[in-house]
Structure 1
Amino acid sequence: MMPFFLHTDIIEDLYSPRTAAMDFVSELVRKRGKGNLQKFIQFIVEIFMRYNEASIEVKPYRQKDGALLAIGTLCDRLKQTDPYKAELERMLVQHVFPEFSSHVGHLRAKAAWVAGQYAHITFSDQDNFRKAMHCVISGLRDPELPVRVDSVFALRSFVEACKDLDEIRPILPQLLDEFFKLMGEVENEDLVFTLETIVDRFGEEMAPYALGLCQSLAAAFWRCMASSEADDEVEDSGALAAVGCLRALSTILESISSLPHLFIQIEPTLLPILRRMLTSDGQDVYEEVLEIVSYLTFYSPTISLDMWSLWPLMMEALNDWAIDFFENILVPLDNYISRGTEHFVTCKDPDYQQSLWKGLSSVMTDQNMEDSDIVPAPKLIEVFFQNCKGQVDHWVEPYLRLTIDRLRRAEKPYLKSLLVQVIANVFYYNPSLTLAMLHKLGVATEIFNLWFVMLQQVKKSGKRVNFKR
C-alpha cells in the first residue's frame, strides 16, 4: 500500500479560505490591533461560550474549529499582550483541553495544534503542561490520520519546552514505536523535524534506538524520492521531506558520536543513499549527504572499503558540477586522508593520490575561478603533506609548482596566506627536499621575500594581517 502523502500546495494555499482568513486576522491585528484586537477576542470568546452552552446535537463545531484556528494564529501577539497573556493557561484548560476527547476528529486535531502553539508559555501549574503534553502524545495513536499528524507537529514544541525529560523518558520506547508506525503511513516533514528534536534533546540516550531510527528514516527517504519522482505535484514536498530525513540522520549520528561501534552497524543502511545522492541526482541535498559522509568517515573506528568507494563519486562531482560544495567536500576528503592514510597512500586502483592531484590542479589552474572559489584546495594540500610524511616525495615538485603559480595570481590576502602555508607545510614534510626544489625552480628568493613581507604586515591594532589563527 502506498503511504499517504501530506503536503501543502502553495498555489492551492493562495486560494484557500482558511489561509485567507488566517492572513486577514494576522494583518488586522498587526496593523490595527489597538482598536480591533479586543473586539476580535470578544467575538472568539462568544463563540466559545455558545459552543459550551449548546447541547451536543447542535454544537457549532465548525465555529469552534475556526475560533481555535484564530487563537492559534494569534499566538505570538497574545503571548505578549496584556491582559491576554495572563489568561492563556486558563483558556487552554477551559476551551482547548476538552477537545482532546471530542468525538469530532477535526477538533481533536485542532486542539493538538493549538496546544503546540502555546507549549512554550509559562504554566503556573505544571500539571497543565503535563496534561497537554500527554494528550498530544496520546494523539499519536488516534484513529484519524490528520489528528496523528497534528499531534506530531505539536509534540515538537512540547519536547522543546519540556524542562524535565523524565516526563518523556519512561515512555520513549513506546513513543518511538508510534513514530516508526507513522513513518510507514505518511511522508511529512513535521514528523521528521519532531523526531530530530527528540534525538537532539535525548542525545546518547538514543543509542539503543539509533539503528532502528536510521533504518526507518532511510526507508522514509526512499519513499519520499519515489513519490516526488512519480508525481510532479508532490515533487517539492517530497524533496523537502527527503531533506528532513537526511538532517535527522545527521542528528542521530551526532548524538552517538562517542559510540563508534554503532557507526559500523548503521553504515550499510546509509550507503545506498550516499551512493545515489553523491551523483548529480543529489544536487538538491548534496550538503546534507556530505555531512553524513563526514560523520561516518570521522567517527567510525576505521574507514571501510565501502566508504572508500564514495571518494571517486565526490571527486567526479567536484570536477564536473559541485565546485559550489567544495568547502563541504573538503571535510570528508580530509577525513579519508588523515584517518585512512595507509590506504590512501598504498592503493593504486583507484589511485587516490592521482585523483586528488587531478581535482586540485584542475581547480587551481582554472583561470575563471575566483580566489574565494578555491580556498579549500590549499587546505587539502596541507592535509596531504601533514599526514603522508616521508611517503609522497614525488609529489613535492608538482604541488610546489602548482602552489607558486597560483600564488602569483592570487589577489585576496587570505588565499595568499593559505598558499604560503602550503609551502610551509611542504617544508615541514621535508625541509631539505623543499629548499632544493625551490632553488631548482629558481623561486627561493622570491618566495622567502614574500613570506617575510607578509609576516611583517600588521594592522593598527598590532594584530597580524596574514597567517591568522
Structure 2
Amino acid sequence: MDVHTLTTLFATTFGGDTNQRRAAELEIRRISTHEGMLTALMQIIGNNALDLSIRQACVVFFKNRVSRSYHIDPAEPKPDQAPIPATDRLAIKQNIIPLLIAAPSRLIRVQLTACIKILVTNDFPEQWPDLLSTVVKLLSSDDLATVYGGLLVNLEIFKSYRYRSPKEEKLIPKIIKKTFPILVSLGQKLIPTQGPPPLPPLDAAEFLHVILKTYKYSIASNLSKHQQTHDSIVAWGTLLFQVVNMQLPTGVTLSGDKDEWEKHAWWKAKKWALSTLNRLFERYGNPTHIPKPLQKEYLTFANHFVTAFAPEIFKQYLQQIELYIGGQAWMSNKCLNLVFNFFGSCIKPKATWALLKPHAQTLVSRLAFPQLRFDAEKAELFENDPVEYVRFAISEFEDYNSPRSAAVGFLLNLATTRAKTEFMGILNFINSVLNAGTAVTPEDKYAALTMIVALAAVIMRNSEVRPAMEAFCVNHVLPEFASPVGLMREVACQVIGNLSSYKLEWKDPKNHEASFRALVAAMDDPQLPVRVQAAISLGETLHDESVKHALLPGLEKIMQDLFKLSDETDIDQLSETLEGFIEEFKDQLLPVSPQIIARLCQSYMRVLGEQSAKVDNAEADDNDLNTNLADLDTDDKTFALMGITKTIQTVLGCFDELEELEDVSKAVASGLGAQQHRQVNPAILLIQDEIIPIIEATLKTQVLELYDTAWELVDTLTYRTRRVVPAMWPVLKLTYDLFKSTAVDYLEEMLPGLCNFLLFGSEGFVQNPDYTRMVLEIFVTALTDDHLGDHDAVNGFKLIESVMLNLKGHIDQAIPTIINTTLTKYSTTENPALKLAALDTLVITLFYNPALALRTLDAAHPNGSREFFDKWFTAMNSEKGLPRVHDKKLTILTLCELLKMDLNDVPVGLKEGWNGLVAGILSVFKGLPEAEQRKQELLTSFEDTEDEDDEDDENDMDEDFAGIEDDEDQDGDVFDDETAYLDMLAEEGAKLRAKQAKRVAKAQRKAAEAGVGTGKGPLAAGIKGDDDGDDSDYSEAIGSGADSEDEDSEDEESDEEDLNEDLSIETIVDDVDAYEYFKQTLAGLQNSNPQVYQAVTTSLTVDQQTELMEVMAHKPEAEAAEAPAVPST
C-alpha cells in the first residue's frame, strides 16, 4: 500500500471540488480491505510532518475499520465486515502503543484507545501475551508522556474486564497486584505534600483522572483480596481523600464557563475520587447492602470499613459541602450528585446514621432545598424554548446525574427510612418557607412546592398529615394558579396532580371544584409548559366521579387540546393522559373512535417521518471517515411513537366490553370446531384501515425499537376482527422479509400475529402457497439457526403447530421436513420446554395425517414410529410428561384420529399394542381436570394482574411506611425491601450458575454414557429408555396404564415456569370439547368398524372400564349446570 497515494486520497476528501472529493472517498472505500491498508494508515497517523486534519481523518477511519472487523463472529457475520489481514493485525499490536504515546491531539488518542480496547477484548492475554509486561514498563518510565500512555492502556484493560467471567476473575487480580502499587505511588507523587510537583496542577489532574478511573473500573463487580488488605485500602484511601480536597493554587484558573469546568480533568479527577469512595462503601463497605451470597467474601471487610473508614469519608464530604454552601468553593454537578448519593447511603447503616443524623435537617435546608429552586437558566428555557423545557422538565427527576434528582432521592430516603425522627422536620421546614409571607421569593416558594411534589407519596400515606393537605392546597397552592410567574403556575398544577394521584380527599366541595377548575383553566394558559402540566395533572383526577361528571360538557375541547399538546411536544406522558381519558370516558368516546384513531395515526406518521428523516440525513453524512450512526439520538421520537401505539391499543381495548361472543357451528373437515367468533363492531373495521398503514410504515423503516409494537398491533387487529383483510397480507410478507434479515431475534413478538394469520386467514394460505412457504421457512430457521436459542425454537414449534392445525390437508409435502427437523432438535436438547414442544409437534403431525406421519417416522429411522410411541406413551403416563391442557387435548384428539385409521396403514411394529389406544386416552383424561384447573387459575391471575399492580402501588409504601413507624430502634441498621431485593438477585444468580453447571455436567455424563455409533434414531437419542423390541414403554404403558418414573423430574421441576399454558396464542384446539370428541369418535368407530371397537374396549382392565364409563358420562359445564339437582336421600 503506497503511503503517499493514501495520504493524497485523504487530503482530497477535504477539497472543495465535490466530484474529486467523492471520487477519493469511493477509492478509499474500495481499497479499505486491502492488505497493508491499516499499516499505511498508522504511518500517516504517526507522521508529524503531515497536516493534523489529515492524520485525524485517518485515525477515525482506522478506528472504524478496526471496530467493525477486528472480530467477526462466524455465526453472525455482517455485510460491512471484511477480515483484517494477519500482517495488519500484527502491525497494529506492534505499533499502536507507540502511536498512542506520540499522539499530538486528544482526538487521536481517543480513537487509538478505542482500538486498544478492541484488541484487549479479543486478543489479551492469549494472543497478546506481552501486553502486561509492556504496561508495567511504560508505567515505570521516567518519561511522563510514556507513563501517560501506559496509564491509558492499563485503563482500557480494566474497561474491557470490569464485568468478568470466572476465568477473567483469576487474571485481573494478577494485573492489580502488578500495576496498582505503581499507580497509587504515582498518584501520591502528583499531589506532593512538600516540594515542587512533577507536573503543573492541571496536567497532574489529567493523570489522576485516569488513575482513579482505572481503580473504579477494577472494583465494578469484585474487590480483590489485594485491594481488601490494610496497606492497599489505606494507600488508595489517602490518595482519594487528597484528590477530593485538592484546591486550585492561587493564580491558577480553569478556562471557559461552568459547563466547560464540568468537563475539565480537574473536576473529572474529583468526580472519579468521589465515585470510587461511594462504590467502595455502597457495594463492599456497607454491611446492610452486602447480599447474603457475598457476605462470606466481603462482610468482614464491610464491618471494618463502615466503622473505620466510612466516618472519614463522611468527614471529608461534609467539609467539601461546608465550603460549597458557604460560597468558598464551586462544585460540579456530578460531584454534588455523588455527595448526595453518599449521604443517602449513610442513612441505613447504624454506624453512619449516627454521623449523619445531627446534620440531617441542615442538609435538607441548606443543601437539598437550594437545588430545587429555579434559576435564571431554567427560567430562560421556560420562556424561550418551551418545547425543550417540557421535554427536560417532564423527566427531570429521572436524570440520575442531576443534583436536583439526587436531592429528591436524598429527601425521599430520609423521609421514609428515618421517618419517625426526620419526616415532620422536613414538613416543618417546608411550612416555614411558605409561611414567610411577602419575604418568600418565587424561587424559594417553587422549591418548597417541588419538595411537596417529590414527597407526595409519603405525605398522602401518613395518617396525621393527609387530612391537612386540603387546607395546605387552599392556602399555598391554589393561589399560585394566578401567579404572574409561569413556573409557579406550572408547579401548582404539578402539586395538585401528584397529590390527586394518591387520592387527595376534599371535604369542601367548593375547594374540590376550585382545584380541578383551575387545572381546566390552566389548559388555556399562554405558556406551553403550564398547559402540558395542567393536562397531565387533570388526568390524575379522573378517578373521582364528580370530576368526570363536571368534565363531560367540555370533553370534546379537552380531547382536542390533548391532541394538540401531544403534537406540539411529542412526549409519551401526554399519550398516557390520553389513554386515561379514553378509558374513563369510553362510552362517550367510542362513537368517535375512528376519528380518534385517525388523529393518532396522523401523529404517528408525522413523528415516524421526522425520525426517519433524521436517520436518513445522518446516513447521508456517513462517509466512513467521521460519522458514527450509533451515536444518533432518536429516543424522544421512539418513546413518542411507543406512547401513540399504546394509546391506539387502549382505544381497541375499549371494544372488548361491547363485543359479544356467539357460538359458531363446528364444521371443519377434521371435526375440530372453529373459534367462538366475536360480533365485530363495524367501527373497528374502519379503524383497521387507518392502522395498517402505520404498521407497514414502521416495518419498512426498520426501527428495531418499534418492531414489537407493530406486531402487537397486527395481533390485536387480526384477533379482534377475527379475519385477515386484503390490506393486511403485505404485512405478512414484510414480517417474513424482516425475519430473514434484521429481525430474526423478534420471532416471539411476531408469533401471535403469525398464528392469527393462520387461524383467521387460512384460505389465504391455501390460495397463495408462497405464504405457506414463508412460515415454513421461519419454522426451519427457528430450529436450525445457530444464532437463535431454545426459546426461539419453542416459538418455532408453536408456529408450525398452527400451520398444521389450520392448513390440514394442504401441506402434505412439508410433513417430512417438519418431522425430520423436529427429530433433530429433539435429539440434541436437554431443555424440558423444548422437548415438550417437539413432542407436541410430532403428535400434531399424526393428527394432521396419521398414515403419512407414521410412514415418515419409519423412513427417518427403521422402526421410528415405534420409538416415537415409546416416548409418547411414557409422557402420557408420567405425572409431568404432558403438563398442560393443550398437551393433553392434542394427545387425546390425535389418539382419536389414530382409532379411525385403516389397520392396513398401521406399521407392523405398532399393531401389537394398537388395541391399547383407548387405555392411553383414559390415562390422559385422568389428569385433564387438574390441568384445566391450573389453566383457569393462571388465566384468572393474568386478568387480575392489572388490578393487583394498582393495589400494590398503593399498598407497598403503606407497608414500608408502617414498618418504619413501628420500628422501635429508629437509629439501628435498616434492612428493607431493597436489601431483600439485592439478596434475591444474588441468590438467583448463584442458583442460575449452579443450575447451568449441573446441566453441563449432566450433558457431558449422558454423552459419555451414550457413546458413539449406537445405531439409535434421533428420537431415541433424546430420551433414555428401553428401545429393545417387546419390552417397550408403548406396549407396557397401554397395557397397564401404570405411571412411569421420569428420570428428569428434577430438571423439569426447575423449569416448571417454562411449561405454563401459553395464553398469548389461540388455536382451534382451545374450543374443542375433548370429552365430546372422544365420545363421537368411539360412537363412530362402533358403527364403522365394530371389530376394532370390540378390541379396544374389551382389552381394558376393570379399573379402566370404570374410567371409560366416567368419561362417557361427563357433561359439559353449561349442560351440567342446567341439569336438575339430584334429590338427597
TM bucket by the smaller chain?
0.7 to 0.9
| Counterparts in 2 of 1:46 and 1:290: CA distance versus 1, 3 Å | same
| Counterparts in 2 of 1:126 and 1:374: CA distance versus 1, 3 Å | farther
Report the CA distance between 1:334 and its aligned residue.
Answer: 0.7
Partner of 2:471: 90
Tell whether 2:639 aligns with 1:240: yes
Contact 1:140–1:152 at 8 Å: present in 2 too? yes
Tell whether 2:815 aligns with 1:400: no
Residue among 775, 778, 782 paired with 1:359: 778
Contact 2:516–2:547 at 8 Å: present in 1 too? no
CA distance in 2, matches of 1:373, 1:341: 24
Contact 2:572–2:639 at 8 Å: present in 1 too? yes
Give the letter for the 2:723 counterpart: T
Report the CA distance between 1:112 and its aligned residue.
Answer: 0.8
CA distance in 2, matches of 1:3, 1:36: 37
Matches within 5 A, 1:9-88: 18-19=404-405, 21-30=407-416, 33-51=419-437, 54=438, 60-81=441-462, 83-88=464-469
Task: Structure 2: state its 5+ residue gaps.
Answer: 1-384, 616-630, 660-679, 884-926, 932-1048, 1053-1058, 1062-1129
Where 2:391 maps in the other structure, the secondary structure is: coil
My pick for the range that moved more, 376-385 or 31-40, is 31-40
Report the CA distance between 1:234 and its aligned residue.
Answer: 6.3
Where 1:302 maps in the other structure, the secondary structure is: coil
Residue among 269, 289, 295 paired with 2:710: 289
CA distance in 1, matches of 2:558, 2:398: 33
My pick for the range that moved more, 247-256 or 436-445, is 436-445
CA distance in 2, matches of 1:16, 1:325: 35
Q: Percent identity?
A: 25
Report the CA distance between 1:30 and its aligned residue.
Answer: 4.5
1:339-372 CA-partner distances (Å, limit 9, x unpaired): 0111111114xx1011111111122123454322
Partner of 1:347: 768
My pick for the range that moved more, 93-102 or 352-361, is 93-102
1:58-112 CA-partner distances (Å, limit 9, x unpaired): 8732322222111111112222335322211221122212222333322221111
Tell whether 2:600 aligns with 1:217: yes
Give the letter for the 1:44 counterpart: I
Report the CA distance between 1:332 and its aligned residue.
Answer: 0.6
Partner of 1:121: 503
Give the letter for the 1:243 counterpart: M
Tell whether 2:534 aligns with 1:148: no
Contact 1:280–1:317 at 8 Å: present in 2 too? no
Report the CA distance between 1:279 and its aligned residue.
Answer: 4.4
Task: Structure 1: state its 5+ residue gaps.
Answer: none
Contact 2:776–2:800 at 8 Å: present in 1 too? no
Tell whether 2:792 aligns with 1:373: yes
| Counterparts in 2 of 1:181 and 1:430: CA distance versus 1, 3 Å | same
Give the letter for the 1:353 counterpart: T
Contact 1:3–1:186 at 8 Å: present in 2 too? no
| Counterparts in 2 of 1:430 and 1:7: CA distance versus 1, 3 Å | same
Partner of 1:335: 756
Tell whether 2:868 aligns with 1:447: yes
1:274-316 CA-partner distances (Å, limit 9, x unpaired): 1232246221121111111111222236322221001121122
Report the CA distance between 1:160 and its aligned residue.
Answer: 4.3
CA-based RMSD: 3.2
Residue among 228, 238, 249 paired with 2:648: 249
Residue among 188, 191, 203 paired with 2:574: 191
CA distance in 2, matches of 1:392, 1:433: 11
CA distance in 1, matches of 2:415, 2:804: 63
Report the CA distance between 1:454 and its aligned residue.
Answer: 1.5
CA distance in 2, matches of 1:233, 1:131: 46
Residue among 373, 378, 391 paired with 1:7: 391
Partner of 1:387: 806
| Counterparts in 2 of 1:82 and 1:409: CA distance versus 1, 3 Å | same
CA distance in 2, matches of 1:440, 1:382: 22
CA distance in 2, matches of 1:407, 1:76: 52
| Counterparts in 2 of 1:39 and 1:302: CA distance versus 1, 3 Å | closer
Report the CA distance between 1:386 and its aligned residue.
Answer: 1.1
Partner of 2:690: 269
CA distance in 2, matches of 1:418, 1:435: 19
Give the letter for the 1:359 counterpart: I
1:175-202 CA-partner distances (Å, limit 9, x unpaired): 2121122233222221111111222333
Contact 2:522–2:530 at 8 Å: present in 1 too? yes
Of structures 1 and 2, the larger Rg is shown by 2
Contact 2:398–2:405 at 8 Å: present in 1 too? no
Report the CA distance between 1:440 and its aligned residue.
Answer: 3.4
CA distance in 1, matches of 2:762, 2:456: 55
Partner of 1:417: 836
| Counterparts in 2 of 1:107 and 1:10: CA distance versus 1, 3 Å | closer
CA distance in 2, matches of 1:34, 1:233: 48
Tell whether 2:596 aligns with 1:175: no
Where 1:199 maps in the other structure, the secondary structure is: helix
CA distance in 2, matches of 1:207, 1:46: 49
| Counterparts in 2 of 1:380 and 1:17: CA distance versus 1, 3 Å | closer
Report the CA distance between 1:14 and its aligned residue.
Answer: 6.3
Where 2:809 maps in the other structure, the secondary structure is: coil
CA distance in 2, matches of 1:412, 1:20: 45
Contact 1:200–1:255 at 8 Å: present in 2 too? yes
Contact 1:152–1:190 at 8 Å: present in 2 too? no
CA distance in 2, matches of 1:450, 1:263: 47
Partner of 1:316: 737
Give the letter for the 1:182 counterpart: L
1:129-183 CA-partner distances (Å, limit 9, x unpaired): 4442332233222221111111122123212455874344443222212112223
Give the letter for the 2:430 counterpart: I
My pick for the range that moved more, 74-83 or 444-453, is 74-83
